[in-house]
Amino acid sequence: MQQEVWFNKYIILRLLGCGGYAKVYLAEHIKLNSYRVIKFISNNNPFYDLLRKEAFVLKNIQHPCIPTVYDIEEDESGTYIIEQYIEGETLKAYRNQQGPLSERVILRLGIQLCDLLNYLHSMERPLYYIDLKPDNLILSGDNLMLIDFGSAVFQDELTEHSHFHATKGYAAPELYGRNRIDERCDVFGIGMLLFFMATGEPSCSSDSMKNIDSVNGYTKQLKSIINHCIKFNPSQRYASVDKLKKQLSALLINQKDNMKSNQSQVIAVAGTQPRIGVTHFAFQVCNYLMHYGSICVYQEKNNSGVVNQIKNCYRNVIQQEGVIKVNGIYMAVPGCKEVPSINKGQTIVYDYGILSCDNLQEFLMADMKLLVLGAKDWELCYSEEVLSMLTEYKDIIYLFNFMNGKQFHQIIKSMEARPCYRLPYEPDPFAPITSDNGIDLFREILYIRPKRKLWERVRLLRRKEK
């Protein structure tokens, strides 16, 4: 079947969505070989002028989490808005798939929302978004992208006769009346999104708004913030999204401080191709942390079956509920949905094997993200493919395996200031880590220095196990 070509520029690949207001298509720019979204608005649409306004709102906005408008085309049937294609899934789809989000994730996403809205409210012509809802947010990696500006309104365009188009259950009450509109209507919208992330549903009535207090699994502080956002009277809400952000940030910082002593820290390890040394390096990470005195649990997040092989071939394997212990390192038994809690403040090392679109989202949510790469001629295609998925993320540590110093210095010239290291050769991942096999590397990337006395105690324990 021959594909349609529009405006001699775009090959239409498929219909992404069709609503009462517009049709949205995925297209490919013929010359640039890059994806675009084309939003078609029919001349017969009663909201034609409103929907067309989105293009003129977005053309003056430059923000990495807001889609860029590249072009506008018109013909006798309507207007075509050509925008940046954002790969990911809506917040609604993500919440429906994941179930109740953890408080930490809710706080992170809430802070991102505040940053986005604060940017809009602080422009030379302040802009109120009005229609915050889960369908208008796309989770791309660990970034929230805000789309669909059809309901947004500039502050200087507001009059007492202004009419607003917003979604019931998420829209601020004053949008339906004649009250003064300001940024507190977006504070209400953020509160409703926080409510949705916790409960999976909007709050459609004043009675159900109070349900957040009865939802288990969240702190009183977060519930109080949500209730403060969704007050019926705007004067009782946070005065600005900046003030809301300060409350969310303070709660997140407080929880991070508590996590250092009471909760698990997550280290994610992945690679660009098979047999690049991901599992070997993950065991080395566990080994170093164990030497430092940190309780560490390794979990296999791939289909290699390594833990079962270790269980069958190593002697003196200690088995406990949900874990085995080999050379002082705890390993979660395959099939466990949750990592067993060995001790407060334990570190969990996830081994994702090959990084792909399927596990990228989970990998990016870790506290520390470590990627093992190859740089030989026949490995570059794998590395380049994975790197293309990570261009927006600045907190990933890149570790090159199986290369000498000269090769490493050559390859980092193309890594654009990303944090890069070379893995030293060590055939035994359980060997004590010394200056000969990478102790300086682990000190730098894990921010931990081992204690000499502890090293000696570990050696004695290993001798006893043998």
- Domain positions in the chain are 5-84, 89-259, 264-465
Average pLDDT over residues 347-371: 91
Is residue 460 pLDDT above 60, yes or no? no
Token reading at 4: 């349609």
Average pLDDT over residues 405-410: 82
Is residue 455 pLDDT above 50, yes or no? no
Is residue 283 pLDDT above 90, yes or no? yes
Token reading at 127: 């802009």
More confident residue, 251 or 443: 251
Find residue 299's DSSP bridge partners: 350
Instruction: Give domain 264-465's CATH architecture.
Output: 3-Layer(aba) Sandwich (3.40)
- The predicted structure's pLDDT at residue 342: 67
Is residue 142 pLDDT above 90, yes or no? no
Is 376 among the annotated ligand-binding positions?
no
Average pLDDT of every residue of the chain: 83
Is residue 65 pLDDT above 50, yes or no? yes
For the ranges 147-156, 364-373, 454-463, which has the lowest average pLDDT? Answer: 454-463
- The predicted structure's pLDDT at residue 205: 44
- The predicted structure's pLDDT at residue 311: 85
Residue carrying structure tokens 């288990």: 216
Q: What topology is assigned to 89-259 in CATH?
A: Transferase(Phosphotransferase); domain 1 (1.10.510)
Average pLDDT over residues 69-86: 88
- The predicted structure's pLDDT at residue 150: 79
More confident residue, 13 or 411: 13
More confident residue, 216 or 316: 216
For the ranges 203-207, 309-313, 435-439, 454-458, which has the lowest average pLDDT? Answer: 454-458
Is residue 466 pLDDT above 90, yes or no? no
Q: Please tell us whether the domain made up of 5-84 is placed in CATH 3.40.50.80.
A: no
Most confident range, picked from 179-183, 353-357, 390-394, 408-412: 353-357
Average pLDDT over residues 440-465: 54
